[in-house]
A and B are shown apart, each in its own frame.
Chain A
Amino acid sequence: MLWYTGKRLLQIIPVLLGATFLIYFMVFSMPGDPIAALFGDRPPAPGVIEQLREQYHLNEPFIVQYFYYLAGIFQGDFGVTYSGQPVNEVLARTFPVTIRLALLAIFFEMIAGISVGLISGLRKGGIFDATGLGVSLVLISLPIFVLGFVAQYFMGIQWGWFSPTVGAGAPTQDLILPALVLATISFAQISRLTRSSVIETQGLDFVRTAYSKGLSGKRIVPVHILRNSLIPVVTYLGTDFGTLLVGATVTEGIFNVPGVGRTLYQAVIRGEGPTVVSFVTIMVLLYLIVNLLIDLLYAVLDPRIRYA
């Protein structure tokens, strides 16, 4: 396990360097003055331009600029936003909200996705299974912002089940609707993945052997079928986190959730380049860290990896 953890940590380094380089490259190797390009036709306050020039070391050669930028990231310095506020300050304010929203969404999608997938898989070909497959196909086809508006309009405005936008301080009950929206697309994927994984596991030899030992279905389903079926589902959560990040940006925008996503959303809408770059970088780092954690979780779930 220690060896595996070490290996994964080493493997993440080139990816980390490559990803930050790519982002930097995308922004600063473009023709013309990158600062001007970042702001387009919306010039910022005069002091900010100077601050940015200094922050990005624009007078140095490209590769040196990149290393300055990288050094900044490793010191936890993500520069300033469009309005000149340190990114870290904004982050300290918004991050906890997004974490709550994301955890809520992951909780919903896991509980619902795994239960629906498990029942569908165990009763393959039944009415529940057929309905589940149909519904999940429709849900997968709905872009998150369409889903967000539909939920906001009906559940928030028309029927008044939830508050259509999130109030000050983002109380958790206000986060339920955006979290449900955020969870929906992944729910469909997770339920389908669980279903096919359960069907596959059910047919494996060791399940038959478990029955032959005299175990009851009540024990075999959770211990031998579900436990093994969860491995691919957990692996999927890593990739899914990327979807979740993009989804959070859109959902937080629609529901006005004061989180990291809305900050990025507003920066994008208003064309505030430097803020966009900073927050995308933060999200990519977050994505990498979560994927590393999921890889480690994978090793916990599968002894073949742990002891390889």
Chain B
Amino acid sequence: MPDQSSSKLPIEHYVAPLEETKLEAIDSVKTEGKPSNLWIDAWADLRRRPMFWISSALILIIVFIALFPGLFTNEPPNANCLLANSNGAPVAGHPLGFTRQGCDVWSRIVHGAGTSLSVGIIVTILVFTLGVIFGAFAGYYGGWTDGILSRVGDIFFSIPYILAAVVIMTVLANYRSVWVISLAIGIFAWPATARVLRSEILRVKNSDFVTAATAIGVSRFKILWAHVVPNSIAPVIVIATISLAGAIVAEATLSFLGVGLPTNIMSWGNDIAQAQTTLRTAPQVLIYPSIALSLTVFSFIMLGEVVRDALDPKARAQR
């Protein structure tokens, strides 16, 4: 019987046979496969995802309808409205029936696509531009610049942008147009983008590659646009996609409230508002534009979702 001192016995010295544990060169370079960085990888990831193709296809179809409404309907949206057809059921040539005013529902939906998309795109460009300028300068230059820019952002952020747009559109009742409504939404919608970019920039600007560029002698302004912003922009692109959807909803909401676009401009929000009085008797008149609106919004939300998954390594790990 081994006694308690057994653990004190010399432990045998084991050496693995060399043929079983082959040594590799230290730190060997592997250059198989294609080059890869965030964008290349993101694109490779997107290409594999059916959700990306579905949402892109939906968006392309909507864009196509918006650009060439004449290809999808022969009915003008406003003319040829007969009160006799009020809330009428579908007949040949009018697949979705008629509105309360007796206008063709399908034609109004087709012609409304352009309005929604225009507002979405104009607002997104505005929000992206303002957000990037404010966020980039505030985050990168810090100090007083940041103090002032961030406070301005806080002030604009403190008024929910749809409420702000309600006030603007109420005051500008006589000047309502796609441009005015886009400005009214965009002018208060940018701070969220600026905040995200600012915090990304704060993260990136202390990276050693930024310091290395400074030590090389690259100017501060050039470092911002050549090194810092490209490495901070990914989340902003995700937000831009989603804010396009948000802008479409905002326009529809304002039109629904009666402070959006005038009735001579096709807008799904207007049509939904018009149809609400006859919700009990003719729900279909309200449902069809609602579906068009929700489907458009859904396409952009879905695209934003897959783009986020592809661009954000954290989100990718959470799938």
A and B touch in the complex (CB under 8 A): yes
- Which A residues are closer than 8 A to B by beta carbons? 14-16, 18-19, 22-23, 26-27, 30, 34, 37-38, 40, 124-125, 137-138, 140-146, 149-150, 152-153, 157, 195-196, 199-200, 239, 242-243, 245-246, 249-250, 253-254, 264-265, 268-269, 271, 273, 276-277, 280, 283-284, 287-288, 291
Question: Given A14-B151, A150-B287, 9 more contacts at CB 8 Å?
Answer: A137-B301, A138-B298, A141-B295, A142-B297, A143-B249, A143-B252, A143-B293, A149-B279, A288-B158
Query: With the chains together, A222 CA to B106 CA distance in Å?
Result: 52
Q: What are 9 A-B residue pairs whose CB atoms fall within 8 Å in the complex?
A: A18-B152, A22-B156, A23-B164, A34-B171, A38-B170, A239-B192, A243-B160, A264-B166, A280-B159
Give Cα distance in the complex from A143 to B292, angstroms: 11
Q: Is the CB of B257 within 8 A of A265?
A: yes
**Centre residue among A246, A254, A277, A284 by max chain B CB count within 10 A:** A246
Tell me the nearest residue of chain B to A284, going by C-beta.
B159
Question: Which residue in B171, B276, B297 is a CB contact (below 8 Å) of A273?
Answer: B171
- B contacts with A, residue count (CB < 8 A): 48
Give the residues in chain A near B293, CB-CB below 8 Å.
Answer: 143, 146
Given the complex of chains A and B, what is the CA–CA distance between A196 and B131 in angstroms?
Answer: 25
* A145 → B minimal CB distance (Å): 5
Q: Tell me the complex Cα distance, A269–B269, Å.
A: 13
The answer, among B151, B152, B170, B294, for a CB contact under 8 Å with A143, is: B294
B280's nearest neighbour on chain A, judged by CB, is A157
A15 touches B154 (CB 8 A): yes
Residue B307 CB within 8 A of the other chain: no
B272 within 8 A of A: yes
Name B253's contact: one of A30, A34, A38, A144 (CB within 8 Å).
Answer: A144
- B252 and A15 form a contact (CB under 8 A): no
CB atoms of A19 and B301 under 8 A apart: no
* Residues on A with beta carbons closer than 8 Å to the beta carbon of B174: 37, 40
Are the C-beta atoms of B160 and A246 separated by less than 8 Å? yes
Name the A residues within 8 Å of B249 (CB-CB): 143
Which of A23, A143, A149, A253 counts the most B-chain CB atoms under 10 A from its CB?
A143
**What per-residue 1/0 map shows which CB atoms of B159-195 lie under 8 Å from chain A?**
1101110111011111000000000000000001000
Cβ of B89 under 8 Å from chain A: no
B259 at the interface (CB under 8 A from A): yes
Given A153-B279, A243-B160, is A137 in contact with B302 using a C-beta cutoff of 8 Å?
Answer: yes
Closest chain A residue, CB of each to CB of B300: A141
Please name all residues of chain A whose beta carbon is closer than 8 Å to the beta carbon of B286 when the two chains form the complex: 149, 153
Asked if B155 lies at the interface with its beta carbon under 8 angstroms from chain A, I say yes
Contact of B34 with A by CB under 8 A: no
Taking CB atoms, residues of chain B closer than 8 Å to A40 are: 173-174
**CA–CA, A200 and B192, complex, Å:** 23
Whole-angstrom distance from the CB of A210 to the nearest CB of chain B?
21
Docked pose: A166 CA to B74 CA in angstroms: 43
Q: Which of chain A's residues have a CB closer than 8 A to the CB of B256?
A: 145, 250
Closest to A264 in B: B166
Residues of B within 8 A of A249 (CB): 163, 257
Q: A196-B315, A283-B160, A283-B163 are in contact. Are A145 and B170 (CB under 8 A)?
A: no
Residues of B within 8 A of A195 (CB): 318
Using Cβ atoms and an 8 Å threshold, which residues of chain B touch A245?
Answer: 160, 163
**For the complex, what is the distance from the CA of A27 to the CA of B293, rounded to whole Å?**
31
Is there contact, CB below 8 Å, between B160 and A268?
no
- B102 neighbours in A (Cβ, 8 Å): none
Cα distance A269–B277 when bound, in Å?
Answer: 14
B267-319 residues at the A interface, CB under 8 angstroms: 272, 276, 279-280, 283, 286-287, 290, 293-295, 297-298, 301-302, 305, 314-315, 318-319
Cα distance A254–B283 in the bound complex, in angstroms: 14
Q: Considering the chains assembled together, what is the distance between the CA atoms of A269 and B166 in angstroms?
A: 10
Residue of A nearest to B242 (CB): A140
Distance to closest chain B CB from A162 (angstroms): 15
B113 contacts chain A at the CB level, 8 A cutoff: no
Nearest CB on B from A24, distance (A): 10
Q: When A37-B173, A284-B158 are in contact, do A23 and B252 touch as well, CB less than 8 Å?
A: no
| Contacting pair B159 A19 (CB below 8 A) | yes
- Whether a CB of chain A sits under 8 angstroms from the CB of B235 is no
Q: Is the CB of B301 within 8 A of A22?
A: no
Cα separation A141 to B253 with both chains bound (whole Å) = 13
User: Residue B258 at the A interface, CB < 8 A?
Assistant: yes
Q: Which residues of A lie under 8 Å from residue B168 when comparing CB positions? A: 26
What's the nearest-Cβ distance from chain A to residue B175, in Å? 10
B229 at the interface (CB under 8 A from A): no
Is A271 in contact with B159, judged by CB distance below 8 angstroms?
no
Contact status A149-B170, CB under 8 Å: no
Which residues of B sit under 8 angstroms from A253, Cβ to Cβ?
A: 257
Q: Are B301 and A23 interface neighbours, CB within 8 A?
A: no
